[in-house]
A = this chain, B = another copy of it.
Amino acid sequence: MTSFTLQTQRQFARSGQLETKHGVIQTPFFMPIATKGSVKSLSSGDMRDLGAQIILSNTYHLLLRPGLEQMTALGGLHRFMGWERPLLTDSGGYQVFSLSKMNKTTEEGVTFQSHIDGARIHLTPELSMQMQAAIGSDIVMQFDDVAAGNSSRERYEEAMERSLRWAERSKKEFEKIHDSNIPPLLFGIVQGGTHEDLRERSAQGLINIGFDGYAIGGLSVGEDRADAYRIAKRVCEVLPQDKPRYFMGGGMPEEIVAYVQMGVDMFDCVLPTRNARHGTLFAWNQSPETIDWSLYQDPHPSTLFYDRVRITNESYQQDQTPLDPYCTCSTCKTTSRAYLRYLFSVQELLAYRLATIHNLHFYLTLMQSLHKWIQTTA
């Protein structure tokens, strides 16, 4: 199985292709988040227009509504939302930990109360695999045990060890479900908090089981950026060269640039979409075509390649220039800062849409620029 093909490397940064059932994705790439089967305020057509290669959806949310049975009857999420490109689903482990009330973890799985109606749900590695299969995911994530950001070493170790056992159960169930010639891809998740030795054991354990790709989980949960950086770097050293690496849930643009230069291939983050809906917009302060990304290897660069625009700021009241002169998105081509500010101030639904289009365009352009930068090394 050669789903991942490395094409070019520039120091540790990699560009390549990841082949899925719904098409080939250029790496490195960013996945906009369609939590409940829609990137908030945008349609599947909008995502195609933006050039998104792949989107991410959340098993936890889709398990609560529409549920496993409905999703099966509907024929999967691609058909349901009219999205024919690749789709990755997380396993639900993180959401159970972060969203549900009264979750209780045993070796068997996690029992939790739905954050919607309080219903009692028992989520196991097996159910997670079944739900991701019902969704029709192209990249399936193992079910994992997620320790809180400030846990003791003991708790991190316990969660990491259990995640390894759940990785085995995930793979076993996955293989039971997918006996077809072209199964989806299955990824393991490296856990272990900010402890390098735990992370190494986790990565090695997953490699021994064998996955199509490996994710770095349990970061971007409030730890120092330097810790996340140190752990990601170490994990990248342990992980095999010929498999894709996925940094889960991060991050700010400069973090993504730094992680790409450590050898990470895949990203997802709520920042562009959530910030957009709160009126915080990313704007290039130079042309993204010509940035030398080697100047931004550190996730704490002294200067940034973009500005954060608080569009609700009064200073934009009569600013009839586009939000971002370097941007070619439909928002920047058709609206002014003054109009965007006004739409936010009167809480028009259009504000959230225009801002989301722009911020996603920013992240997707960032990935294209990084891809091009890596490829031009050759």
Contacts and interface: CB of A to CB of B under 8 A. Distances in A.
Interface of A: 36-38, 40-45, 61, 65-66, 70, 73-75, 79-82, 317-318, 320, 330, 334-336, 338-339, 342-343, 345-346, 348-350, 352-354
Which among A80, A346, A354 has the highest number of chain B CB atoms within 10 Å? A346
Contacts of A70: 317-318
A330 B82 CA distance: 12
A82 B82 CA distance: 30
Contact of A82 (B42, B79, B80, B334): B334
Contacts of A343: 37-38
29 contacts: A36-B346, A37-B339, A37-B342, A38-B343, A38-B350, A40-B349, A41-B349, A41-B350, A41-B353, A42-B350, A43-B334, A43-B350, A43-B353, A43-B354, A44-B334, A45-B330, A61-B346, A65-B342, A65-B345, A65-B346, A70-B318, A73-B318, A74-B318, A74-B320, A74-B338, A75-B320, A80-B342, A82-B334, A349-B353
What 7 pairs across the A-B complex have the smallest Cβ distances?
A41-B349, A38-B350, A38-B348, A36-B346, A82-B334, A73-B318, A40-B349
A348 B36 CA distance: 8
A327 to B, nearest CB: 16
A165 to B, nearest CB: 33
A320 B73 CA distance: 10
B339 A80 contact: yes
B339 A82 contact: yes
A185 to B, nearest CB: 26
Contacts of A61: 346
B40 A342 contact: no
Nearest to A348: B38
A320 B74 CA distance: 8
A138 to B, nearest CB: 19
A3 to B, nearest CB: 29
A133 to B, nearest CB: 19
A345 B65 CA distance: 9
A258 to B, nearest CB: 32
Contacts of A36: 346, 348
A73 B75 CA distance: 54
Nearest to A347: B36
Contacts of A82: 334-335, 339
Given A38-B343, A38-B348, A66-B317, 9 more contacts: A36-B348, A37-B339, A40-B348, A45-B330, A65-B342, A70-B318, A74-B320, A82-B339, A353-B353
A65 B339 CA distance: 12
Contacts of A80: 336, 338-339, 342
A339 B34 CA distance: 14
A82 to B, nearest CB: 5
Contacts of A334: 43-45, 82
Contacts of A336: 80
Interface centre among A42, A82, A350 (most CB of B within 10 A): A350
A153 to B, nearest CB: 39
B352 A349 contact: yes
A41 B40 CA distance: 12
Nearest to A330: B45
A80 to B, nearest CB: 6
A222 to B, nearest CB: 27
A342 B66 CA distance: 7
A65 B45 CA distance: 33
A271 to B, nearest CB: 18
